[in-house]
Amino acid sequence: MLNPDAAARLRAIVGERNFRDDKEALVAHSYDGTPMLQSLPDGVIYPASTEEVSAIMKVLSEYRIPLVTRGSGTNLCGGTVPALGGVVMVMHRMNRILEVDLENLTATVQPGIITAEFIAHVESLGLFYPPDPSSMRISTIGGNIAECSGGLRGLKYGTTKDYVIGLEAVLADGRILRTGGKLMKDVAGYDLTKLLVGSEGTLAIVTEATLKLIPPPKTKKTMLAMYKDIYGAARTVSSIIEGRIIPATLEILDNPTIRVVSDFAKLGLPEDMAAILIIEQDGDPEAVERDIARITEICMKERADRIEVAASREEAERLLTARRSAFTALARLRPTTILEDATVPRSKIADMVLRINEIARKHGVTIATFGHAGDGNLHPTATTDARDKEEIHRVELAFEEIFEAAIELGGTITGEHGVGVVKAPYLEWKVGEAGMAVMKGIKTAFDPHHLLNPGKVFAKETRKRVVLQHG
301 near a second copy, rule: CB under 8 A? no
Smaller CB distance to a second copy: residue 3 or 238? Answer: 238
442 near a second copy (CB under 8 A) = yes
User: HSE of 65 in the Cβ direction (CA atoms, 13 Å)?
Assistant: 27
Distances (CA, A) of 450 to 56, 64, 102, 194, 460: 16, 9, 40, 21, 13
* Alpha-carbon gap, residue 378 to 372, rounded angstroms: 6
Among 446, 450, 451, 452, binds a second copy (CB under 8 A): 446
471 near 436, Cβ under 8 Å?
A: no
The residue ranges of DSSP E strands in 188-256, in sequence order, are: 205-212, 219-227, 249-254
Q: Would you count residue 432 as binding a second copy (CB under 8 A)? A: yes
Strand residues in 28-163 grouped as ranges (E): 43-45, 67-70, 87-90, 97-101, 106-109
Among 221, 355, 423, 450, binds a second copy (CB under 8 A): 423
Binding-site member from 376, 425, 454, 455 for a second copy (CB under 8 A): 376
Q: Given candidates 346, 355, 363, 450, which one binds a second copy under the rule CB under 8 A?
A: 346
Q: How many residues bind a second copy (CB under 8 A)?
A: 93
Q: Which listed range, 42-50, 129-137, 281-289, 386-394, lies at the site for a second copy (CB under 8 A)? A: 281-289
Among the listed residues 4, 268, 441, 471, the single contact to a second copy using CB under 8 A: 441
Q: Out of 17, 23, 185, 266, point to the residue binding a second copy (CB under 8 A).
A: 185
Distance of alpha carbon 196 from alpha carbon 183, whole angstroms: 17
Q: Which of 3, 39, 50, 104 contacts a second copy by CB under 8 A?
A: 104
Contact yes or no for 374/155 (Cβ under 8 A): yes
Position among 28, 84, 267, 287 found at the interface with a second copy (CB under 8 A): 287
Containing H/E element for 386?
none
Beta strands in 97-163 (DSSP E): 97-101, 106-109
Site for a second copy in 35-64 (CB under 8 A): none
User: Distance (Å, rounded) from C-alpha 310 to C-alpha 318?
Assistant: 9
Interface residue with a second copy, options 414, 450, 453, 455 (CB under 8 A):
414
Q: Residue 459 interacts with a second copy (CB under 8 A)?
A: no
Positions in 226-265 near a second copy (CB under 8 A): 238, 241-242, 244-246
The type of residue at 46 is Y
Instruction: Choose, by CB under 8 A, the member of 49, 98, 123, 190 that binds a second copy.
Output: 190
Tell me if 262 sits within 8 A of 253, measured CB to CB.
no
Out of 20, 372, 379, 450, the only residue in the binding site for a second copy (CB under 8 A) is 372
Query: Order of strands across the sheet with 205-212?
Result: 97-101, 106-109, 205-212, 164-170, 176-180
Stretch that binds a second copy, among 64-72, 172-180, 305-313, 328-336 (CB under 8 A): 172-180
Query: Smallest distance, Å, CB 96 to a second copy?
Result: 20
Span interacting with a second copy, options 137-145, 154-162, 220-228, 267-275, rule CB under 8 A: 154-162
Residue 438 as a binder of a second copy (CB under 8 A): the answer is yes
**Rounded CA gap, 133 and 13, in Å?**
34
Residue 108-127 contact track with a second copy, rule CB under 8 A, x = bound: ------------------xx
Angstrom distances, CA of residue 74 to CA of 32, 133, 402: 6, 10, 23
Q: Is 297 in the site for a second copy (CB under 8 A)?
A: no
For residue 450, state whether it binds a second copy (rule: CB under 8 A): no
Q: How many CB atoms lie within 10 A of CB 30?
A: 17
Which one among 11, 431, 462, 465 touches a second copy, defined by CB under 8 A? 431
Number of H helices, E strands in the chain: 15, 16
Residue 118 CA to residue 36 CA, distance in Å, equals 31
Query: Could you report how far apart the first and last alpha carbons of the chain are, in Å?
Result: 53
Stretch of residues binding a second copy (CB under 8 A), selected from 107-115, 142-150, 265-273, 296-304: 142-150
Name the nearest CA neighbour of 316 among 186, 421, 222: 222
Q: Is 305 in the site for a second copy (CB under 8 A)?
A: no
- Segment interacting with a second copy, rule: CB under 8 A, options 210-218, 219-227, 254-262, 381-389: 210-218
Q: Considering only residues 76, 413, 451, 452, which one is a binding residue for a second copy as defined by CB under 8 A? A: 413
CB of 268 to a second copy, least distance (A): 32
DSSP output for 287-346: HHHHHHHHHHHHHHHTT-SEEEE-SSHHHHHHHHHHHHTHHHHHHTTSSEEEE---B--G
Interface region with a second copy, contact rule CB under 8 A, candidates 32-40, 296-304, 327-335, 429-437? 429-437
Task: Single out the residue of 191, 271, 317, 385 in contact with a second copy (rule: CB under 8 A).
Answer: 191
The yes or no reply on residue 345 touching a second copy (CB under 8 A) is yes
